Structure 1
Amino acid sequence: MQETCNTKKFNELFSKLSNSSADEQREKIEEMNELMEEMGEEEFKSVFTKEWFNEIDKMIEEKTLSWENAILLLKHVGYCQTLKCFYDFAFKYSFLSDRFQEMIIEEKMMIEEKDEKLLVDLCECYLLLNRWPSSEMSSIIAPCILKVALKKEENEETQKEVEMALLALSNIPTFDKLDKELYLNEIKEIIKYQQEHHNLTRIAYQSAWEFLIKRFYWDKSLEEVIVNEVHFEREAIRELEELAKWMNWKKKEEEMSKKEAKEVLIIGRWLHALGIFFRLFRLWKEEFAELIGSVAHVCRAARENNKEISNWCICSFRDATENGNVRVEDLLKGRAIDVVLEEIHRQTLNEGRTNECFQFFMNVSRKLKQKNKDEREEEERKSMKKKVFEKMEEEGYEDIFISFQKTNMFYFDDAVFIYL
């Protein structure tokens, strides 16, 4: 990859860190942090390699980079990587990751003279940079970071601390099994306090929800809490609608201000959490059609100039169809079927997105074919099948499907399924 201006300037500043005083280092790092915010994914990954993290480890070992300044730099690398969803294993397999892991365990085990601030800094950096920690490390780290996330002061400094803590927690993977005694009361308190006092930033609030939603994978008892106690669907609808309302969707991504670009990233994170919710949750309510409708609104608004966001929307709809408790009626009321039909009419679809659209309809097909023993429910199924059939026929779905099938993009056994 050809070195860009941002990369070149960043590397120049980095090369001078070892020979600078602590104050000079801090100035250079603040400039480096601004530069990394401008980097795209490919550029970001070309800079922050395993070798780069090993170099940081060496500088810490040789004391040519102070811990305070190392934390300042590494936290921002992790913040950008997490917020922008730049998945990478570079840190995980570096010497620096081993150093952090050893220090976290050592600090956690200490009874006297424990440096709580250093422990929190280490934990946040480790989670922000490592999206695949072990369950053991997650169990050690989560309680430490939650102490910071529970802060309720509304000054800007505290808000930033809480945002960083919750963003780090949101990186604990879906597959990490945590004992709910480690986090449930705390995360509920954070969410409920925000609902009453609005003390969190948008990123912090979304991150709190993402952390909680991911815990459901192992602990199904959380469903009642998430749906009926802290009301995920209501909060997700409100957040999506508020974010979408203030976005100028006519702007292309490169034309957006930093604030607008950040809000787009938050919308993407909400859509990611919704994908997990749609796919796994069983306590489904009729009102959730409104939640699907909010995603449909975002998809239509973003489709011209933000393909990544509209892709996330289509993926979340596909996830919803994989949940046996999501009814076709919900998808119809929420306009998901309309939106996906509109997408496959578009000439700019790539192969991956086309496949997502057709997978959505294949899943809808399976739902419509599931006959019911109850006569009333069976009549409702037939009525719904007719409604969807008419909509598909009106939109010329059969011709579209056949034209895509001929290009060898995707083959389905069901062929033009809705007619079966």
Structure 2
Amino acid sequence: MQETGNTKIFNKLFCELEDCDEEEQKQKVKELHVIIDGMDRSEFLSILTEELFDKIHNMTDDKKLNFGNAIVLLKHIGYCNTLKRIFIQSFEKSSLNRRIEEIIINENKKKGGKDEKLLVDLCEGYLMLLIDDFPEELLSIGVPCLLKVALSKEESEETQKEVEKALLTLNSIRCDVKKELYLDAFKEIIQYHQKCGNLTHLAYQSAWQLLIERFYKEKSLGAVANELHFVREAIKELEWLIKNIDWKRKEERRGENEGKEEYILIEGLQCLEHFFLFCQPRTDESVEHVSSVTQIFRAATDNREDIGVKCLYLLIRSANNGALEVEDLLKGGAVDAVLEGLQRHTFKDKMTYKSLKAFLNVSNKLKEKGKDEVEEEKRKKIKMEMFEKMEEEGYEDCIESFHKKLYFLNSRFYFGISLNVSDYFANI
């Protein structure tokens, strides 16, 4: 891969570390952090090589790089790696990985004199760079250390950053954690933030994700999530994200400085999907929830198709399992938003496919007979409202204009949408 401006500066600064004393190295590591933060995803990937990690190991062994400075650099690389959602095995294959494992185990064995700050720093850099090889012994050391940091209730900016990194690291561990050890801790973290506001947005999202995605198999999770007002809090966070993401950034610049807000949004939508899929709630806030997701969908349509598709997918699955009703989709503006995009023919293939599938699902839902007279009357009323909206907006003509394209969309996205145009109508 050809070097870019950022990668050239990174490689130059990294090579200069060998010729510096400890304080000069500390300053250059800070400069490396700034360069890393400015890298797009492809640039960052280009430096995450086994060679880089082996060199860090060799430089620390040869006393050419202060070990503390090396760990600070490794932590930042791991932090950015998690935010950019990069999954590569270069660190796992490196000699640095094996060396850090040894240091963590040996440090933990010290009786009375182990350095807990060093253990936390090592575990954060180590765990955020692993993909799927999480040794049980290392987890048994790292998770309690990180959880202790995450439970800190100090509200200084420095502590907030450390809590954020600890929660993000815990969230990056892709294996099960034991319910009896950690469920109450995550609940405590969320409750304290709701009372005192001590977490950053990224830390708060990570805490929710730890609770929802790690314990979705627990029957009690729905009650716990409702007790903690998950839907209300999710709506609040989505509204903050709508205001703080640069929605006008063009797709070709997507990776450039993409940071916490994008990560929070994408992971947050995934968390919401798990919640509605496994907990199957339907609350008084459902319409507000649909409205917030719809606003994200509208904002993402032009330049962030990946986010728009996630919004659609979330609404489709939530409606399919009964967590949302067609009425919620109507009142929350989801139907209007998708109709507008289809009529403008501005959606790309994947968005068009998902939009058509969404309407197909809605149509199917409206064909299901109610369980009793009250439900049946309600279904007929909603069906009439949907039909009138489709008729007013020229939905039938819109769908027919896609008819020739349906074959192509099915061949590209592995089927799933009907080739029969009439199936997309909520006919009376």
Q: Is 1:161 matched with 2:167?
A: no
Question: 1:69-124 deviations in whole A, cap 9, x for unaligned?
Answer: 11111111111122232333332343333333444344445444222112111221
**What's the CA shift for 1:2?**
2.4
1:216 — aligned with what?
215
1:282 — aligned with what?
280
**1:10–1:260 CA distance, 2 compared to 1 (3 A):** closer
1:73 — aligned with what?
73
Q: Is 1:226 matched with 2:230?
A: no
2:297 — aligned with what?
299
1:52 — aligned with what?
52
Match runs of 1:4-403 below 5 Å? 4-134=4-134, 136=136, 137-138=138-139, 140-173=141-174, 176-227=175-226, 229-245=227-243, 249=247, 262-393=260-391, 394=393, 395-396=395-396, 397-403=398-404
**What's the CA shift for 1:68?**
0.9
Structure 2: give runs of 5+ residues left out of the alignment. none
Structure 2 residue identity aligned to 1:151? S
SS in 2 for 1:17: helix
- 8 Å CA contact 1:18, 1:59 repeated in 2: yes
Question: Quick check: 376-385 or 287-296, which moved more?
Answer: 376-385
CA RMSD of aligned residues (A): 3.0
**1:413–1:32 CA distance, 2 compared to 1 (3 A):** closer
Separation in structure 2 between the aligned mates of residue 139 and residue 283 of structure 1, nearest angstrom: 34
Structure 1: give runs of 5+ residues left out of the alignment. none
Question: Quick check: 344-353 or 78-87, which moved more?
Answer: 344-353
Separation in structure 1 between the aligned mates of residue 331 and residue 113 of structure 2, nearest angstrom: 59
SS in 2 for 1:355: helix
TM-score, normalization by structure 1: 0.87
Structure 2 residue identity aligned to 1:235? E
**Alignment: residue pair count:** 416
Separation in structure 1 between the aligned mates of residue 368 and residue 390 of structure 2, nearest angstrom: 19
SS in 2 for 1:284: coil
Separation in structure 2 between the aligned mates of residue 236 and residue 88 of structure 1, nearest angstrom: 31
**What's the CA shift for 1:331?**
2.1
- 8 Å CA contact 2:39, 2:257 repeated in 1: no
**What's the CA shift for 1:11?**
0.9
- 8 Å CA contact 1:142, 1:183 repeated in 2: no
**1:188–1:82 CA distance, 2 compared to 1 (3 A):** same
Separation in structure 2 between the aligned mates of residue 280 and residue 135 of structure 1, nearest angstrom: 29
Structure with the bigger RCO (C-alpha within 8 Å, sep 6+) is 2
**1:401–1:324 CA distance, 2 compared to 1 (3 A):** farther
Separation in structure 1 between the aligned mates of residue 97 and residue 217 of structure 2, nearest angstrom: 26
- 8 Å CA contact 2:244, 2:261 repeated in 1: no
- 8 Å CA contact 2:309, 2:350 repeated in 1: no
SS in 1 for 2:11: helix
Question: 1:335-376 deviations in whole A, cap 9, x for unaligned?
Answer: 222223333344443333333333333443443344344333
Q: Is 1:418 matched with 2:424?
A: yes
Separation in structure 1 between the aligned mates of residue 109 and residue 286 of structure 2, nearest angstrom: 45
Separation in structure 2 between the aligned mates of residue 148 and residue 288 of structure 1, nearest angstrom: 35
Separation in structure 2 between the aligned mates of residue 131 and residue 364 of structure 1, nearest angstrom: 38
Separation in structure 1 between the aligned mates of residue 289 and residue 131 of structure 2, nearest angstrom: 28
**1:35–1:335 CA distance, 2 compared to 1 (3 A):** same
- 8 Å CA contact 2:216, 2:275 repeated in 1: no
Question: Quick check: 270-279 or 6-15, which moved more?
Answer: 270-279
Separation in structure 1 between the aligned mates of residue 336 and residue 127 of structure 2, nearest angstrom: 39
TM-score, normalization by structure 2: 0.86
Question: Quick check: 384-393 or 152-161, which moved more?
Answer: 384-393
SS in 2 for 1:79: helix
**What's the CA shift for 1:401?**
3.7
**1:246–1:9 CA distance, 2 compared to 1 (3 A):** closer
Structure 2 residue identity aligned to 1:224? A
**1:283–1:347 CA distance, 2 compared to 1 (3 A):** closer
Structure 2 residue identity aligned to 1:384? I
Separation in structure 2 between the aligned mates of residue 404 and residue 254 of structure 1, nearest angstrom: 26
